[in-house]
Structure 1
Amino acid sequence: MSAENEGHPPSETLYIRNIKENIKIPVLKESLDAAFSLYGPVLDIIAHANIRMRGQAFVVFDDVETAQKALEEVQGFPLFDQPLEIQFAKSKSDATVRKNGDEQLEEHIKIRLADKERKKAELEAALKKRKRQGGSLASGRPSKKAAGGPADDLLPPNKILFLQNLPDDITSDQLTEKFEAYPGFFEVRLVPGRKGIAFVEYETDDQAVIAKRETADLAFGGNAVRITFARK
């Protein structure tokens, strides 16, 4: 399941982020259930402790209208002293599809797995292409012919890209549109109270390396965006 961009049609599933990361999963699920079940039956709450899902969760309602009302009224609610950021999920949850029968659920899972395999194949093809061109994804450094540029560009690669020199009015929709085109895209994170910067996360280091290189000339509103790996 993946997060949807703001401005898209509502769905039964809400994607929640900016959750305090040190909360135990059972406590988190109970707290989310208490907050959202006030608006209607909650079919499922999806939250995991792994790095990829840390600070995030999905809440599944029985119908779109209930999810819409919950999003509007719980948006910004300070759960564990951090305001929740809520939007609609991009894909339907298993719990939602299951209502239409096991046959549709089976097809839903099959499509999801096929999409995962497609992205994996795209990544492998991109890795082979880079190797043929003489670059090294493992080191995150360009080949000698392509060497040069600011020292920050030689930071060890990791799965999070750090974007600078963005327009003050940039939205997560605009950034997502650019970066979701590359395999392994996970999410865009704007920084509350800080303008001009953002983080883009991928599932693996190699996927982030590819996205960074493919967006080297990215610009918004006349601003040439500076992209480096996030410092750890």
Structure 2
Amino acid sequence: MATGPIATVYVRNLEERVKIDVLKETLRHVFSEFGVVIDIIAKTNLKAKGQAFVVFEDPESAKAAAEELQGFIIFEKPMQVALARTRSDATVKSHGTEEDVEMHKRRRLAEKDKRKALEAAEEQSRLKRPGHGLKSLNPATTVIPDEYLPPNKILFVQNLPEEYDVEAVTKIFGRFDGFREVRLVPGRRGIAFVEYAGEQGAITAKENTAGMVLGDTNTIKVTYQRQ
């Protein structure tokens, strides 16, 4: 969700065959009539084709453009225009503090992880439907791969060196905001649960520790606890 005025316009139904640099220049020319455009995001990957984000310097310009350019035709297609649901990276960098930028980045990563989890669940459900050669399964019982689990405040750490105790694991994960505790599993070496006060602390810890090598050969795996 947005945490401030939206200065970004989301544009759909663009001609997919137009080269990106030409598309951006055309959008900049059209949207600059309503204010200062500080960034245009348009990508070539399949999911993002025909879409773009136009970032203005101020929310008033974005609102005016969204209202006035609905249905405006470029490259023989009417644009579908609306205010974006979240602030852009460029907006946050221009008007926010370093803390705002960091929080925005974490929020974006959390949303990305949640989307991946949903997509993974939907794909597994699709493959298990009749006609795909696998037994049908209720989507609610679909097992999501560890790497696509949605963020939560508890991390599951695997492949720790066997000699690592609570103190050793705390030295690694205790430096991130909101750290609460490390819990080892009795009788199971090499794994631990690390709890934070909220999702943001866990997200930051996961970003900074996943793939870390401990000892000589132990590359730890850090995921969110399965709910």
Report the TM-score, using the length of structure 1 for normalisation: 0.51
Task: Work out whether 1:46 is the aligned partner of 2:48.
Answer: no
The equivalent position to 1:28 in structure 2, one of 10, 20, 23, is 23
Could you say which residue in structure 1 is the equivalent of 2:71? 76
Task: Work out whether 1:100 is the aligned partner of 2:89.
Answer: no
Alpha-carbon offset, residue 64 of structure 1? 1.5
The equivalent position to 2:128 in structure 1, one of 136, 158, 167, is 136
Alpha-carbon offset, residue 35 of structure 1? 0.2
Measured in 1, the distance between the counterparts of 2:130 and 2:52 equals 31
The equivalent position to 1:114 in structure 2, one of 92, 103, 110, is 110
Flag structure 1 segments of 5+ consecutive residues without an equivalent: 147-182, 184-232
Measured in 2, the distance between the counterparts of 1:63 and 1:145 equals 48
Q: Percent identity?
A: 42
Alpha-carbon offset, residue 78 of structure 1? 0.9
Report the TM-score, using the length of structure 2 for normalisation: 0.52
Q: For the structure 1 residues 23 and 143, does the alpha-carbon distance in structure 2 shift closer, same or farther, using more than 3 Å as the test? A: same
Q: For the structure 1 residues 81 and 142, does the alpha-carbon distance in structure 2 shift closer, same or farther, using more than 3 Å as the test? A: same
Contact 1:97-1:104 at 8 Å conserved across structures: yes
Q: For the structure 1 residues 120 and 20, does the alpha-carbon distance in structure 2 shift closer, same or farther, using more than 3 Å as the test? A: closer
Alpha-carbon offset, residue 122 of structure 1? 4.7
Give the number of aligned pairs. 137
Higher relative contact order (CA 8 A, sep 6+): 1
Q: For the structure 1 residues 138 and 90, does the alpha-carbon distance in structure 2 shift closer, same or farther, using more than 3 Å as the test? A: farther
Q: For the structure 1 residues 49 and 104, does the alpha-carbon distance in structure 2 shift closer, same or farther, using more than 3 Å as the test? A: same
Whose Rg is larger?
Answer: 2
Letter matched to residue 100 of structure 2:
Q
Contact 1:47-1:56 at 8 Å conserved across structures: yes
When the two chains are superposed, the root-mean-square deviation of aligned CA atoms in Å is 3.4
